[in-house]
Structure 1
Amino acid sequence: MKTNLQQAGRNASSAVASAALEADLRAALGAAVRFDVAHRAVYASDASNYRQTPIGVVVPGSMEDVATALSICRRHDAPVLSRGGGTSMSGQSVNAAVVFDYSRSCNRILELDPAARTAIVEPGVVCDTLRDAAEQYGLTFAPDPSTHSRCTLGGMIGNNSCGPHSVMAGKTQENVEALEVMTYDGERFWVGRTSDAELEAIIAAGGRRGQIYGDLKTLRDRYADAIRKRFPAIARRVSGFNLDELLPENGFNVARALVGTEGTCVITTAARVRLVHSPAHRVALVLGFPDIYAAADAVPEFREFGPIAIEGLDRAIVRGLQTRGLRAEEIALLPRGDAWVVLEFGADTAEEATARAQRAADAFGRRRDGPVPSTRLMTEPQMQQRIWLIRETGASATQLSIDPETPDPKVGWEDAAVDPDRLGDYLRAFQKLVDRYGYQTSLFGHFGDGCVHARITFDFSTADGIAQWRRFTREAAELVVRYGGSLSGEHGDGQARAEFLPIMFGEDLMEAMREFKRIWDPRNRMNPGKVVDGYRLDDNLRAGPQYKTVRLHTQMAFRSAEGEGFQRAVERCVGMGRCRSLSGNTMCPSYRATREERYSTRGRSRLLWEMLQGDVVEGQWNSEPVKEALDTCLSCKGCRSDCPAHVDMASYKAEFLSHYYETRRRPRQAWFMGRIGQWAPVAARLPRVVNLLTQTRFLAGVARRVAGTTPSRSLPRFASRPFRKAWAANEGKRDQAGGARKVMLWVDTFSEHFHPEIALDAVEVLRHAGFDVVLPPKVLCCGRPLYDFGYLAAARRHLEAIMTTLAPLFDAQPGYEPPVALVGLEPGCLSVFRDELLKLFPDDARAQRLSSTVKLLGDFLIEHDYEPPRYEARVLVHAHCHQKSIFGTRAERVLLEKMGARFTLLDSGCCGLAGSFGFHPAHSPIADAAGEQVLFPAVRSAQEGTLVLTNGFSCREQIRHGTNREALHLAQLLVRAIHANGSEPKTVSRPVALGDSMEKSYVEP
């Protein structure tokens, strides 16, 4: 009892101290200070096995804000943690501290000097942002870890990051020229290479800087011999502090000594980094070996040909992807083998790059010592990118176990490095160690530098499993040291390896590292407990023996190869943060618009995970922090395809809202936008009256207020006649060609009531392709908008009605031939059949059958070898998010190529409107910001006469809103081509309800 009372007293005291700290920080920095539950939960985890809830979060607007926040933290004696992209795998970017997140605002490139080949950057600059800027001058920042699209330079400096191209130009350490640093006690100055004269002058000048340099010199002199003797002479020594950079032969380089200290010594406020020549052309030679050991044995031979990257990959990851049905097209590109090495060659001309790769291929074809590998030379950038995708995303995609008896692979021993010339022997010895402990692993990594990644099936669920993991880690550390290696060759020590660093360095050098930290941070307030004097390996585990398994009733079935249930689905997020990428693909539009971590797919996944555990986020389905974060999710489904782990936030959001609103009233917008499929048919009976209310200036404002939509956006206009009335009014007898195959056209709510001309054009296109068009016997709605507001019970009823009506029509009957497909026009609506239908009716054969028949118009046409007429227009293509995620964009490319059109398929992400999302007043800024990322500027700058093509209703509305341009549906473009060429349809018919064309013996449901 006394212990409990003492702990309660400490907690109360801590809460009071935290409140006082928050109050002072907020008074100085306002909204940059986030001590709320949501932020503390989101920043409690990174990509490692560890979780520590921070005191609070500061998102500074400038480095001056950093200095202000640091002075307040110092006054309260609060520890601080500098955080970049939060993708660290050793636990160094989580701590019980005040987290400074520089990525949102402290992210400027301050200077880029192509002549000097240097750049000065703030710590929040994303690696790819700098690389893209440097590429304009034929330069690049060489280190490029797999997280290059979202990791920050500050994080890379803290971690001493590497990547595949460290073979070309070294780690971050070798690419840092100077750092501007800030100590916990408020000193701010530049550090770098220091001559003897400069060193003496700095020491003589006195002050805090002089004291630091004097103490560093004393440290250097005392431990120089031990450093030279004990530090392994390999390219990938990332473990420990870079005390060797203080040696005279290395120029007393204080900046490089601070690289890799993981925020335990100073805050980096700016960095001058080296830029290197970027080969203009690159090719990849992929070699297939019988096993990973033979591949590793060949590393010395690889290096003889001067590649700029040497990456190895074993069969385990490829098998994992194949089992999950992922990356099939990419895997098909691999040559024969059971392990692969990718050699990348670069040169200023494509011919030279190819020649270098071919010389290597020829030499290995004549190889006498060792197995002769199979080869595949890839010169096209797109093909090379697909191979790199296997390497970059494979581990994250397979980080949940398929076998329920096998623990999930962990990153607990992730990136050791040895002399590359001894790599094969080391891997054989390491695999024996893994086998002896009964674990399973995959092996892949940067073979050119001897750095190997291993995801191992450690058991964290029991005390015995933890004890075994500890024993294994000690033996693995001893093994690496025997091979002259480093415990970490890329991801740093953090907490994962700190405890075992004495095995590598010995106690003398560990004391030297402690002294190095004390020189900079005598109060131990900078990311304490990491690298030196660190937490134990098994402290602060995110999913250790105390992890709660929560079983919740859900409306949707969350099933995958890795297991069932909502919790298992949420566990898919392993924290690698691809959703924080600033460009390319779709995921995550709300993060790109706001740069807010809790509005990323990872942030929301973390909140859902914390919601299930209940330690920080309470209330489960009633949690307000979770609800607030999910409100900004556009349900674009980008994460479903773009995330390596295939996190499906749109489904998680729909499920959460369905429970959240069980005891709450839904907002007005839910009734207006969410139930549009129910009231639109009623409103369409009097379209002129409805349009008068929603389109005239004064009345439209009232209508928007009633509907709960933003004043800045016009409501959609109803067509004067719905689709079915429009085609029914056509004169002339229906003339159905004998023998023509039937196709059923799914006319969604938007095509029926707002843009019937698109459905009419689709009928003409399908006729031109040789098909007789039929319709469902009655008007049906897929219920797509219902999911955005958690109306899952209503959605289920919609789908039940659809299956009852349509499923029998796709069964062959005597004398009756079913339609060959259910063809639709609106990707958002068609996605319901491929996605939500199977989640709400996972065991219903009708759902499986109906889902398999659904095709988007373009996909259906190319599957049936449709040849569109020539139409040499200029076309700018923006793909709807659901189309990209579920159906793909191949159809548009194929059809436009056949037409002879000059087209550009934009990598434009989400348009921002996303169904009803952009109509919400609170979401309008995010919607507009998403459109301004790529789509709006591309449309505005398009050459006069360029046609804008997109299949999504919301995309066309957004383009009209943001650019005043009208966009076309694919059906409209194809009809233009048909009319321009005077082409006759292969059949002459107008669509009819399917019940009208069926044999009388068939009983209509």
Structure 2
Amino acid sequence: MQYVEQETGRSTAEGRPSEPVQREIDRGVIRLPGEQRVRLAPAAGPEVEALAADLSRAIEGEVRFTAGDRALYATDGSNYRQLPIGVVVPRHKHDVIAAVAACRRHGAPILARGGGTSLAGQTCNVAVVLDFSKYMRGVLELDRAGKRARVLPGTVLDTLRGAANEFDLTFAPDPSTHEYCTLGGMIGNNSCGVHSVLGGRTVDNVHELEVLTYDGLRLRVGPTSEEELDAIVREGGRRGRIYAELRAIRDRYADLIRARYPRIPRRVSGYNLDELLPENGFHVARALVGTECTCVTVLEATLRLVDWPRSRSLLVLGYPDVFSAGDHVPEVLRSGPIALEGLDHRLLEYMHKKGLHESYLRYLPEGRGFLLVEFGGDTREESDARARAAMDALARGPNPPSMKLYDDPDQEQALWEVRKSGLGATARVPGEPDTWPGWEDSAVHPDNLGGYLRDLRALFDRHGYHPSLYGHFGQACVHCRVDFDLVTAEGIRNWKSFLDEATDLVVRYNGSFSGEHGDGQARAQFLPKMYGEELIEAFRRFKAAWDPDFRMNPGKVVDPYDVTENLRLGANFRSAAVETHFRFPDDDGDFTRAAQRCVGVGKCRRHGGGTMCPSYMVTHEEEHTTRGRARLLFEMLEGSELRSFRDDTVKESLDLCLACKGCKGECPVNVDMATYKAEFLSHYYAGRLRPRAAYSMGLIHWWARLGQRAPGLANLVTQTPALAAIAKKIAGIAPERSIPPFARTSFRQWFHGRPRRNAGAPQVLLWPDTFNDHFFPETAIAATEVLEWAGYEVIVPEQQLCCGRPLYDFGFLKTARRLLRDVMGALRDPIERGVPVVGLEPSCVSVFRDELRGLFPDDPVASRLRELTHMFGDFLKGAPDGDPGRLLLGPRGIELPRLGRRAVVHGHCHHKAILGMDGEREVLRGMGLDAELLDSGCCGMAGAFGFEEGDKYDVSIQCGERVLLPAVRSAPKDALVVADGFSCREQIQQTTDRQALHLAQVVRMAALHGPEGPAG
């Protein structure tokens, strides 16, 4: 099969597409094929179709060769982009063996991929991508006594850590992506992490690998004695020839390896040929760690576990600058920490600009450079004692730092979150140029860290770059995202010139270009500087021993692409001009720039915890991650094979987006997929009919008003089984769902039918959203009574208004914009008077706090309305009277009523992502409730989403059953279930035997019935 370059014009510093590279190399060891070098895409034609058909016949897993599938895997967390030939999702080892055999028959390259978070370009290539993360995951065996674990390559690191922690063991390397990175990816990359000080790199923790070569040999590799080695070589065959060549490499290059390999704790660049040395036990498995899928495919791994301290104490040290912090690292290391991280003042400034972890930063001691030092022990007393001993030693030394030892686990976790957020904090900083990887993990010896940091900063200054410096200072690995210009020819030339000098600097320090992220395409070109041409030849021989046809991840590590090739943007990049409804004020008004926000971190690939991304948590499909959807939108807007706003692949990916806004709150760069989905759908359906559900539920504000005219008749239709079945069929509602009944009296009817209360008191405008007005007015009535009891005069708009929340789910953006104009016009007087607007439905409040700005960023009325809008709990919490346990409410200063009950609390997605749950938490605490705030993610209903028939209903139930619904069912019968979102309460009511309450109802309950609540 022939693979040719697809000319996108994004590749070179000169702004010209790269020429196909013909390369004939004959060095007495191997001969590379003289065919065209793989570039961006396979040539279209019957060869690719034949390969896809062959793969489909050969395996039980999934074969995906569509334009959308390829776009999802075209890039990783790096600066590079290469469209793969196709994607294979194997179900088991036999699928992998069969898939590789099929690729071999067609001459197609192979790339096994983990979480796709690599920062050096090693997980994108013109190859058939093997994605193990969906099916080939799990801990197969955990040997507590032997401190080993056997795992499949798609296993997420935290899955192993969770299993090992039960026995006070752990897998020591723990990169910041530990919640979603895979162990296969860590092995390919030789990943490290915060606790590598405790247990080393991945290479130091691999005992044995089961691997597959491109030519079909399956074998187990590990440490090999000289006797075993002799026997294997004598045995002959393909395995014998591999081992014979590895021995020949060792024997020829041993002295050079000992002389040239940097003796530092974080050498990740290059192949681990040192593991073949006699003193290292001819450890073939460890020699393959960090080869970035350029040699073999890993089928299974046996890993070393280490003891995990039962208690950990955090000491934070403050210095005048990060250079002084670096100078002190050797001294701090003498105290025996299990983790030692560093960060500078610029990182904190970026966090402040982004509003990221601002409340956590106050925990830091005085300084502009910091070291986070963790100590372990069997007990808190033991770990604290070690930390205090370090403090005493530092206090006796010259220039002691400011010091703070933390006893509160919440504060400790908060500070680790500050450090863990380094990548997200340095990307897309308001008012700052875009930052990129490209020189983000160089490493030297810890004794030289301070000097290296100063020289590196001087080099950055000479080239006009201004990054934050942070990282794993205990092993002298320096992280930074740099404001490289990767979209102009001049900027790319300056970047390459910088890399030339930066690699020279590392060589002078006898360090490693990569201390964690690997070489890939970003650094491989410079490896001859670090190792010399003779050892580069040894790398080439090592790869050829396993992969003589050079079909494993070609162009990475060995005989690499130029660092400026295959750039995702590049000198010819021009942002697509798109007329949009949203104004994207945080992205210079540019939808294309918004779609580029994703930097590939992959946090949306978590299998649990937080809200983002609920659809991925149940499908485990890349297309259902925030990252996958952002990638598809980028490809769509940049004119690839996707059909712009009419593309069905993009539409299908967005279909299962629940618009939960979890990404806006949890994604490190605040990708806002709910907004992107609404914008896309508005264009996709322009001039087209929408699905039935769009008209039944998207226009619910109109139908609710109509139904309220004759609620008895409306309920006859929706609550009588036979008629309800017909109504659901017409409306596109899942037959398993119940349609909520209309209230006989709406909230507005109740409110306007009673006399005015608290006239002359400070006013509060209670927003009567469609759901709490027409379907469940008890919530709004309870809120009114509580606010009046606190001394406010409650007012409600005279006109029937709607924020338009359901319209966004179906792309009715023109209508949504018109409804918001109506709201601003009708509320102009209370807005001008500064009357607070209190909402009960989190999704509606989020419209005023989020979508309103996106649609009207420069409108002063919109801005003022946004400032005045509050969730009920945030408004109610008032101000403490000096006792943190007491909250005084409203003008009357009434103490918050007490309620001595337990409660299970579920936060609405928009509440958590946009508004925050602090107010809710403080009110519940102030009432004396024993409240458990569930880490339940999305309930699954998500407005109209869970009501829709087909896949959406199924995903909705799976989302709810992940955490929320089991927790509600298992809650004690006397415990309250609290959920402010109308759709959350509906999901709970329709799938459990419990009735959830709004916070307003809980406060009213306490006010009316006292601390014990109502009888029964």
With the shorter chain as reference, the TM-score category is: over 0.9
Asked if 1:907 corresponds to 2:935, the answer is yes
- Structure 2 matches for 1:347-746, cutoff 5 A? 347-368=377-398, 371-400=399-428, 402-403=430-431, 406=433, 408-560=434-586, 563-617=588-642, 619-728=643-752, 734=755, 736-737=757-758, 740-746=761-767
Q: Distance in 1 between matches of 2:910 and 2:165?
A: 32
The match for 2:312 is 282
Q: Which residue of structure 1 aligns with residue 376 of structure 2?
A: 346
Residue equivalent to 1:753: 774
How far apart, CA to CA, are the structure 1 residues paired with 2:485 and 2:851?
34
TM-score by length of 1: 0.94
CA distance in 1, matches of 2:721, 2:256: 81
CA contact (8 A) 1:858 1:891 kept: yes
For residues 197 and 428 of structure 2, the distance between their equivalents in structure 1, rounded to whole angstroms, comes to: 31
- Counterpart Cα distance in 2 of 1:186 and 1:58: 17
Whether the aligned pair in 2 keeps the contact of 1:402 and 1:563 (CA below 8 Å) is no
Q: Which one of the candidate residues 136, 154, 165 is aligned to 1:135? A: 165
Q: Distance in 1 between matches of 2:474 and 2:751?
A: 66
Structure-1 separation of matches of 2:1006 and 2:658 = 34
How far apart are 1:743 and its partner, in Å? 1.3
* Aligned partners of 2:354 and 2:429 also within 8 Å: no
State yes or no: 1:180 paired with 2:210.
yes
Shift of residue 105, structure 1, vs aligned partner: 0.8
- SS of corresponding position for 2:481: strand
Matched, 1:765 2:791: no
* Cα distance between partner residues in 2 of 1:709 and 1:30: 34
Question: What is the SS of the residue equivalent to 1:375?
Answer: strand
The alpha-carbon deviation at position 347 of structure 1 amounts to 1.5
- Residue 317 of structure 1 contacts residue 395 of structure 1 at CA under 8 Å; is this kept in 2? no
Spell out the pairing of 1:16-55 with structure 2 (5 A cutoff). 16-29=46-59, 32-55=62-85
Which of 323, 326, 334 aligns to 1:296? It is 326
Distance 2:955 2:391 in 1: 50
Gaps of 5+ in 2: 8-18, 21-34, 880-887, 890-894
Percent identity of the aligned residues?
Answer: 53
How far, CA to CA, are the matches of 2:379 and 2:810 in structure 1? 54
Deviates more, 1:962-971 or 1:50-59: 962-971
Matched, 1:948 2:977: yes
Q: Encode CA deviations 1:176-212: one digit per residue, 9 max, x unaligned.
A: 1111111111111211111122222222333222221
Bigger shift: 387-396 or 963-972? Answer: 387-396
Does the alignment pair 1:875 with 2:906? no
- Counterpart position of 1:227: 257
CA displacement at 1:692 relative to structure 2: 2.1
Q: Is the 8 A contact 2:223 2:285 kept in 1?
A: yes
Specify the SS of the correspondent of 1:564.
coil
**Worse-matched range after superposition: 784-793 or 460-469:** 460-469
The separation in 1 between residues aligned to 2:912 and 2:402, in whole angstroms, is: 34
State the partner residue of 2:234: 204
- Alpha-carbon deviation of 1:727? 4.2
Question: What is the SS of the residue equivalent to 2:303?
Answer: strand
Do the aligned residues in 1 keep the contact of 2:759 with 2:793 (CA within 8 Å)?
A: no
8 Å contact from structure 2 (residues 77, 117) kept in 1:
yes
Tell me the number of residue pairs that the alignment of Structure 1 and Structure 2 aligns: 966
Q: Distance in 2 between matches of 1:651 and 1:519?
A: 51
8 A contact 1:178–1:271 mirrored in 2: yes
Structure 2 contact 600–627 (Cα < 8 Å) conserved: yes
Cα distance between partner residues in 1 of 2:632 and 2:65: 15
Match of 2:280 in 1: 250
Residue aligning to 2:801: 780
Shift, 1:344, TM fit = 1.2
Contact 2:900 2:1011 in 1 (8 A): no
Tell me the residue number matched to 2:958: 929
Q: Which residue of 2 aligns with 1:995?
A: none
CA displacement, residues 685-725 of structure 1 (integer Å, 9 cap, x when unaligned): 22222222222222221111100111122222212221123
Pair 1:70-2:100 in alignment: yes
Equivalent-residue separation in structure 2 for 1:4 and 1:726 (angstroms): 66
* Residues 560-586 of structure 1, C-alpha deviations (whole Å, 9 max, x = no match): 2x6331122122111111111112111
Equivalence for 1:916: 944
User: Matched residues in 2 for 1:353 and 1:211: separation?
Assistant: 51
CA displacement 1:912-939 (0-9 Å, x = unmatched)? 1100111222211211111121111211
Name the CA distance, whole Å, in 2 between partners of 1:29 and 1:37.
21
Q: Aligned residue for 1:999?
A: none
Cα separation, 1, equivalents of 2:758 and 2:696: 43
C-alpha displacement of 1:298 = 0.3
Task: For 1:891, give the aligned amino acid.
Answer: G
Cα distance change, pair 79–760 in 1 and its aligned pair in 2 (3 A): same
CA distance in 1, matches of 2:61, 2:544: 33
Are the aligned partners of 2:154 and 2:182 in contact in 1 as well (CA < 8 Å)?
yes
Corresponding residue of 2:999: 970
Q: CA deviation at 1:966?
A: 1.4
* TM-score normalised to structure 2 length: 0.93
User: Is it true that 1:155 corresponds to 2:185 in the alignment?
Assistant: yes
Give matches, 1:777-926, under 5 Å. 777-812=798-833, 819=835, 821-864=836-879, 865-866=888-889, 867-921=895-949, 922-926=951-955
Structure 2 contact 42–48 (Cα < 8 Å) conserved: no
| Matched letter for residue 831 of structure 1 | S
Q: Which moved more, 1:168-177 or 1:434-443?
A: 434-443
**Residue identity matched to 2:648:** E
Residue by residue, what CA displacement relative to the aligned partner does 1:18-46 show, whole Å, maximum 9, x if unpaired?
A: 11101111223366011011111110010
The residue aligned with 1:120 is 150
User: Judging changes above 3 Å, is the alpha-carbon distance between structure 1 residues 919 and 331 closer, same or farther for their aligned structure 2 residues?
Assistant: same
Greater CA drift, 605-614 or 345-354: 345-354
Change (3 A) 1:31 1:219: closer
| Distance in 2 of aligned mates of 1:850 and 1:382 | 35
| Aligned-CA RMSD value | 2.0
Equivalents in 1 of 2:182, 2:43: separation in Å? Answer: 35
Deviations 1:825-862 (A, max 9, x none): 10001111001111111111111111111111111110
Q: Which amino acid aligns with 2:825?
A: T
What SS does the corresponding residue of 2:337 show, helix, strand or coil? coil
Task: Tell me the amino acid that sits aligned with residue 799 of structure 2.
Answer: K
Displacement of 1:402: 4.6
Instruction: Name the CA distance, whole Å, in 1 between partners of 2:408 and 2:132.
Output: 37
On the 8 A contact 2:61/2:90 being kept in 1, the answer is no
Equivalent position SS for 2:341:
strand
The 3-state SS of whatever aligns with 1:283 is: strand
1:435-475 superposed Cα distances (whole Å, 9 cap, x missing partner): 22222222111111011112222222222322222222122
Q: Which moved more, 1:354-363 or 1:885-894?
A: 354-363
Task: Sort the Cα spacing of 1:961 and 1:737 in 2 relative to 1 into closer, same or farther, 3 A.
Answer: closer
Contact 2:748 2:768 in 1 (8 A): no
Query: Which amino acid is 1:862 matched to?
Result: K
Compared CA separation, residues 97 and 4, structure 1 to 2 (3 A): closer
The one-letter code matched in structure 1 to 2:915 is F
Task: Please state how far the C-alpha of 1:531 moved relative to its aligned partner.
Answer: 0.6
Give the conservation status (yes or no) of the 8 Å contact 1:397–1:646: no
* Cα pair 2:758 2:788 within 8 Å, conserved: no
Paired with 1:298 and 1:4, the residues of 2 have a C-alpha distance of 51
Cα pair 1:80 1:525 within 8 Å, conserved = yes
Higher mean Cα deviation, 792-801 or 348-357?
Answer: 348-357
